[in-house]
Amino acid sequence: MSFGVFGMNEAKKVDKADKVRKAIFITIRKDSSRLTDKAVRDMYGSKVMEMIIKRAKLAKCFDEIIVCTTTRDVDDEIEQISLKMGVKAFRGSLKDKLERWNGAAKEYDIDYIVTFDGDDLFCEPKLLDKGAEQIESRGLDFIEAPQGLICGAFTYAFTAKALSKVCEIKDTDDTEMMWTYFKDTGLFKTGVLEDVDPIYFNDRIRCTLDYPEDYEFFSKVFEHFDAKDNDVGLDIIAEWLNDNPEVAKINIGRQQEFLENQKKRTHLELKEA
């Protein structure tokens, strides 16, 4: 945990009469290398991204849900689906996820952000709310998922102020693995999500859509729960998977490859002082 001066001295001052604005940023684009067009694939009668938006709408602590996609023509459909589903859309850089988020935060005047990856179909709304509550109440700049949490249950929460600072100091547009700019610079006050029910900790469950095996896994879970609205809590899903480990085994073999790919893509490049 880092306790840099930024979080203590440079955090945005909000007048008590002003209401801070919190948003879920759903990061998604249409094309994908390992699972073609996964964002618009059918998932139990809806498109994957429609299921993602339905899930995000179950969270209670947010002023906005903003789909963050790219300016490419191929992602026109992403914006169209977002608007049809009644949420905002922001279009920015293809490669630079940090700049895309920064642009969305400025466009919609957001103070606190909780991210929701567009392939985490069972990201838990209760944990999204905890992230929104804790990033403010604990006075942090950045919150990450605790070690051992189910993959896909929660990603990050951070302040727009910290995000803007990160965009000033980074020296690359390759920011897919963005967490290192918050955690490893010593500039920010960081922490992990706290007060998380033990049911959400399980390294034998993988809930992110990246490979064909993941698609098979999600399809079986949606079918079992008849989850047309994607409103079954991850705690309930996890309990069922504990009792039916053969379903969790469908895609868990991909987890190590997934983690190794993330490690290879993580790098910290800063501008010279």
Task: Say how many C-beta atoms besides its own lie within 10 A of residue 206's C-beta.
Answer: 24
In a domain, 12, yes or no: no
Q: Which of 96, 92, 220, 106 is nearest to 160 (CA)?
A: 106
User: Tens of pLDDT along the chain (273 residues)?
Assistant: 443 434 434 444 444 447 899 999 999 998 877 788 999 999 999 999 999 999 999 999 999 999 999 999 999 999 999 999 999 999 999 999 999 999 999 999 999 999 999 999 999 999 999 999 999 999 999 999 999 999 999 999 999 999 999 999 999 998 888 989 999 999 999 999 999 999 999 999 999 999 999 999 999 999 999 999 999 999 999 999 999 999 999 999 998 887 787 777 777 888 876
Residue-level pLDDT at 17: 44
Residue-level pLDDT at 67: 98
In a domain, 101, yes or no: yes
In a domain, 185, yes or no: yes
**Chain-centre distance for alpha carbon 183:** 17
The whole domain housing 45 covers 20-264
Helix (DSSP H) and strand (DSSP E) numbers for the chain: 11, 9
Structure tokens at 226: 């008849």
Count: domains in the chain: 1
In a domain, 247, yes or no: yes
Query: Global pTM?
Result: 0.90
Residue-level pLDDT at 75: 96
In a domain, 13, yes or no: no
Q: Specify whether the CB–CB gap between 252 and 241 falls below 8 A.
A: no
Beta bridge partner(s), residue 65: 24
Q: Specify whether the CB–CB gap between 180 and 268 falls below 8 A.
A: yes
Question: Residue 104 sits in a domain of what CATH number?
Answer: 3.90.550.10
In a domain, 270, yes or no: no
